[in-house]
Amino acid sequence: MKNENFYNAVSPFYDSMISFEKSLEKRKQFYQKIFGNENISAVADLGCGSGLDSLALAGIGLTVTGFDPSSQMIKSAKQNALKLKEDIKFYKKGILDIPTKFNSKFDCVVSFGNTLANISAAELPPSIQKINSVLKPSGLLILQIINYTNYLSGGDKVFGYKETGDEAIVRFYEKWGGELVFHILRLNKKKVVDSIHLKTVIYPHTPRFIKKSLAQNGFKILKVYGGINLEKFDEQKSNDFLLVAKKTN
């Protein structure tokens, strides 16, 4: 994974960027609404990061397996699971590296955040095929990514800002030479020299491209939303693109 060093470096302060505890409760509520009467027991969390979605899923009584190509993110996820006393298996694996022993093992696969944005256009179809292979027949896929149609329509975009005490964390996107660069600036306001600036190139897949790739690789789109509050998706205005799909073959 070309971005592994970036996410390893981000890992020590990742949870503070996303308000982990508050986000955890929101994710639990989201999954309970999404699953409804679906018969879901075993779930795979792809690009699990520090374990937010894995812990939310385990917190509503599901058996969860998390995968992430960053060794430091896996370490953080294990620490968070230990802290919350949840029994979750975590593996340092990118999507294409998931072993075949997991084929047809999961009722549902979830993938949140920039997981797909770290996969090139050429690798996206085989990655979707891998997701298909680990799902049971008629298994669900819940996928969320930034709505890059919206983000790419303007100039540089601030994605997140959080200020705590003497520290501020800014996340933003920058167009540079035909590429989209994701920046994280951790600013120490008392001692600027101790500030950290991290950046990496990502692949801004649009909702249309993702939906087309899913349809071509054995998935039927069931629902599309503009975020975890299940608001209506508007390709020109929504910040997030969230979909629920079902495996068809």
Q: Tokens in use for 233?
A: 């998706």
pLDDT band at 191 (very low <50, low <70, confident <90, very high): confident
Per-residue pLDDT, averaged over 102-113, amounts to: 97
- In the chain, domain spans: 4-147+204-247, 150-202
Task: Summarize pLDDT for 194-249 with one digit per residue, the tens.
Answer: 888 988 888 999 999 999 999 999 999 999 999 999 999 999 999 899 999 999 98
Contact 243/223 with Cβ under 8 angstroms? yes
- Interhelix angle 71-83/4-17, rounded to 10 degrees, is 30
Q: Tell whether the torsion through CA atoms of 166, 49, 181 and 199 is positive or negative.
A: positive
Q: Tokens in use for 21?
A: 């505890």
CATH number for the domain whose boundaries are 4-147+204-247: 3.40.50.150
Task: Summarize pLDDT for 116-171 with one digit per residue, the tens.
Answer: 999 999 999 999 999 999 999 999 999 999 999 887 776 557 778 888 888 888 88
Task: Summarize pLDDT for 210-220 with one digit per residue, the tens.
Answer: 999 999 999 99
pLDDT of 167: 86
